[in-house]
Amino acid sequence: MKKNIITGIIILGAIAIIAVVLTNNKKENEAKTALVAEKNASVSVKVETVKTEEISLDFSANGNFEPLQELSFSAEKPGRVVRVLVDEGSTVRIGQTLAIVRSEQIISDLQTAQASYQNALSDYNRFENAFKTGGVTKQQLDQAKLGLVTAKSRLQQAKVNIGDTNIKSTINGIVNKKYIEPGSVLGAATQMFDIVNVSRLKLKVTVNENQVASLKLGNNVNVKASVYPDANFSGKITFIAPKADSRLNFPVEIEIANNSSNDLKAGMYGTAEFASNQQKQSLMIVPRNAFVGSVSSNQVFVAENGIAKLKTVTAGRILGDKVEILNGLSDGETVIVTGQINLQDGYKVDIIK
């Protein structure tokens, strides 16, 4: 028993010695790591100098051209296509027949409606003559008249349905896609044609809150297309969103008159050049990427004697890749434009030339 106690004490002592040694080794390693970290703590960054510049308030925004009108024709009633009178690329006008559809059901409905109308007309004439001689009551005559009116309405609708077998365009434009051929069997909502009007187009762009404040409906805008760099197109602002999107930008639509050959195509990439009514202004600016996170954070790092210092500033207008500074910085200060993700206030920095 005594021997077991002594053995236990020895084991516990050995464990205690091992724990002390490991703790000392850990402290020694932490001290070495801290020494190495202190020697290598500087973060590599790039910087720009804060300066006041003459800045034009003109700006541009990019987007895609969309057709002013776009319509997808679908079948309203079942039938079989007898003739297709247009091809893809055909120019069509309002009221022009695009295809002719034959429906046995529609023809049968018309014949039935015509027969019903003739029967109702005969009944009414007979009841009218009988009423004059007292053979029928006024109520019976009124019922015959109601039957005639109902039959006439059904006949008119049947004639309209027959007219629907001539599929006609409801807009001016160009057939962009044809989905049917002679012999095609149509069901309800079967797609038939896509027609687009590109005589005028819409360029949809987004602008920020500073830019949208200077825009008005009806303002003239110069528009360029990336595929025609030497051509200018005249546009006019037709829509300014009253509410910002999820990125806090405001959608704007500019209507453009296409040229006679319709060189602009829907889906092309375009640029709207917004001209400011103000002359150039002297503004203190910094690169947009100097801000920590985003411009809305209103925080930038400046480098002073090899140390990063976090400063709170007041940002003004966003001018492309530059931002106006209203307060918080002075001309000549050095702002950090890359490497901020690894920085905290007071870190050492190594400026990359």
- Residues 302 and 334: their CA atoms lie apart, in Å, by 5
Instruction: Please say if the pLDDT value at position 163 is more than 60.
Output: no
Of the candidate ranges 46-60, 295-309, 331-345, the one whose mean pLDDT is the lowest: 46-60
Q: Using pLDDT thresholds of 50, 70 and 90, give the confidence band for residue 8.
A: low
Q: What is the pTM of this model?
A: 0.55
Q: Using pLDDT thresholds of 50, 70 and 90, give the confidence band for residue 85.
A: very high
Residue-wise pLDDT for 86-129, tens only, equals 999 999 999 898 988 875 566 666 677 777 878 878 877 887 88
Q: Using pLDDT thresholds of 50, 70 and 90, give the confidence band for residue 275.
A: confident
Identify residue 165 by its one-letter amino acid code: T
The dotted CATH code for 59-67+196-274 is 2.40.30.170
The answer to whether the CB of 225 falls within 8 A of the CB of 266 is no
At 36 the pLDDT is 42
| Nearest CA among 251, 263, 254, 348 for reference residue 301 | 348
Cβ atoms within 10 A of the Cβ of 273, count? Answer: 14
Q: Using pLDDT thresholds of 50, 70 and 90, give the confidence band for residue 30.
A: low
| Nearest CA among 295, 298, 299, 300 for reference residue 45 | 300
Identify residue 203 by its one-letter amino acid code: L
The answer to whether the CB of 200 falls within 8 A of the CB of 256 is yes
162: three-class secondary structure by DSSP: helix
**Count H helices, E strands: the chain?**
4, 21
If you search the block for the tokens 């007292």, which residue do you land on? 134
At 152 the pLDDT is 80
What average pLDDT does the structure give for the chain? 83
Q: Using pLDDT thresholds of 50, 70 and 90, give the confidence band for residue 39.
A: very low
Determine if residue 318 is left, alpha or beta; phi over 0 gives left, psi from -120 to 50 gives alpha, anything else beta.
beta
The answer to whether the CB of 244 falls within 8 A of the CB of 285 is no
At 37 the pLDDT is 46
Report H helices in 71-133: 104-132
The answer to whether the CB of 253 falls within 8 A of the CB of 237 is yes
Q: Using pLDDT thresholds of 50, 70 and 90, give the confidence band for residue 160.
A: low
Provide the β-strand partners of residue 177.
194
Provide the token pair at 239: 């829509």
Residue-wise pLDDT for 221-243, tens only, equals 999 998 998 888 999 999 999 99
Provide the β-strand partners of residue 55.
281
| Nearest CA among 148, 151, 124, 119 for reference residue 136 | 124
Provide the β-strand partners of residue 13.
none
At 14 the pLDDT is 61
76: three-class secondary structure by DSSP: coil
- The domain made up of 43-55+281-351 has a fold known as 2.40.420
At 1 the pLDDT is 54
Q: Using pLDDT thresholds of 50, 70 and 90, give the confidence band for residue 47.
A: very high
Q: Using pLDDT thresholds of 50, 70 and 90, give the confidence band for residue 220.
A: very high
**Beta strand pairing status for 269-274 and 220-225?**
antiparallel
Q: Using pLDDT thresholds of 50, 70 and 90, give the confidence band for residue 31.
A: low
For the chain, where do the domains classified as CATH 2.40.420.20 start and end?
43-55+281-351
Query: What is the pLDDT averaged over residues 280-302?
Result: 88
Query: What is the pLDDT averaged over residues 32-43?
Result: 55
Provide the token pair at 82: 């007898």
Residue-wise pLDDT for 174-213, tens only, equals 999 999 999 898 887 889 999 999 999 999 999 988 788 8
Residue-wise pLDDT for 68-82, tens only, equals 889 988 887 778 888
For the chain, where do the domains classified as CATH 2.40.30.170 start and end?
59-67+196-274
